[in-house]
């Protein structure tokens, strides 16, 4: 029985790593292709739409045969605490940037400066496609690898994934932004445990992207 459980865990780990790697490679390759073949302003949308499509093709089987990816309980009073934490993180980073005179991230300014008819695809990407695919991979598939009979392993996984989450966003260059990404990732992981599913982390990720737009445009 113990050997069977270990084998199941090894199979789950192999599948999870494979899903994450395939997703990341597809995003990278499609992003490179779209940059030169899709009109500027829509390349980000095509890249992340492809990433979501890849996950939709494999996640149902993963959920059924490997590990659960439930939606959880997103709408409850305790959901306010992670949302307040997200707002506090963005507010602190904004105050720090104002105090030090740090300019906004170049990538964010470039994305948000596109013509109005292209901004719709940008908003769909950063408010829907990006949060859905990134949360499924990071706070879903990868975090499940750390689920054991010992609760502390999940928290160790949340910390490890926060570092990984910041590392796979090379478009950001300010140290404060990387710290912000790691802090947000910790909150998303906390929200996954608190709500018992993926809905709350996805909503918080989308809320974070909306705050990034607001602070960049009106800050």
pLDDT over threshold 80, residue 157: yes
**CA–CA separation, 143 and 189 (whole Å):** 8
- Mean pLDDT score across all residues of the chain: 93
pLDDT over threshold 70, residue 3: no
- 150 falls in which pLDDT band (50, 70, 90)? confident
pTM (whole model) above 0.85:
yes
- Please report, for residues 30, 66, 83, 173, the alpha-carbon distance to residue 188 in angstroms, rounded to integers and kept in the order given: 26, 22, 10, 22
- Nearest 5°: the CA angle 32, 33, 35 is 65
Residue-wise pLDDT for 198-210, tens only, equals 999 999 999 999 9
Under DSSP, is residue 74 helix (H, G, I), strand (E, B) or coil? coil
pLDDT at 86: 98
Compute the half-sphere exposure of residue 189: CA atoms within 13 Å on the CB side of its CA. 28
**CA–CA separation, 32 and 38 (whole Å):** 10
- 151 falls in which pLDDT band (50, 70, 90)? confident
- Nearest 5°: the CA angle 209, 151, 200 is 25
In the predicted model, what is the mean pLDDT of residues 26-41?
A: 90
pLDDT over threshold 70, residue 1: no
Residue-wise pLDDT for 61-85, tens only, equals 999 998 889 999 888 877 899 999 9
pLDDT at 84: 96
Token pair of 95 as six digits: 């105050």
Token pair of 128 as six digits: 């829907």
Domain count for the chain: 1
In the predicted model, what is the mean pLDDT of residues 84-92?
A: 97
pLDDT at 77: 79
- Supply the range of the domain harboring residue 36: 2-218
Q: Which tops the pLDDT comparison, 155 or 7?
A: 155
């Amino acid at each position: 029985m113990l050997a069977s459980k270990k084998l199941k865990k090894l199979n789950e780990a192999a599948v999870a790593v494979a899903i994450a790697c395939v997703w990341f490679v597809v995003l990278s390759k499609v992003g490179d292709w779209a940059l030169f073949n899709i009109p500027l302003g829509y390349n980000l949308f095509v890249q992340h739409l492809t990433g979501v499509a890849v996950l939709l093709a494999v996640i149902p089987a993963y959920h059924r045969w490997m590990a659960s990816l439930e939606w959880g309980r997103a709408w409850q009073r305790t959901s306010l605490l992670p949302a307040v934490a997200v707002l506090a993180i963005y507010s602190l980073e904004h105050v720090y940037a104002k105090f030090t005179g740090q300019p906004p991230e170049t990538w964010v300014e470039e994305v948000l400066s596109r013509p109005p008819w292209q901004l719709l695809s940008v908003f769909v990407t950063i408010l829907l496609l990006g949060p859905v695919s990134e949360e499924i991979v990071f706070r879903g598939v990868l975090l499940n690898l750390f689920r054991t009979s010992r609760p502390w392993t999940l928290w160790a996984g949340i910390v490890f994934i926060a570092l990984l989450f910041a590392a796979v966003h090379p478009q950001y260059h300010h140290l404060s932004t990387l710290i912000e990404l790691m802090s947000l990732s910790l909150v998303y992981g906390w929200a996954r445990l608190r709500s018992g599913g993926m809905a709350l982390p996805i909503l918080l990720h989308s809320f974070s992207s909306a705050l990034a737009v607001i602070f960049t445009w009106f800050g």
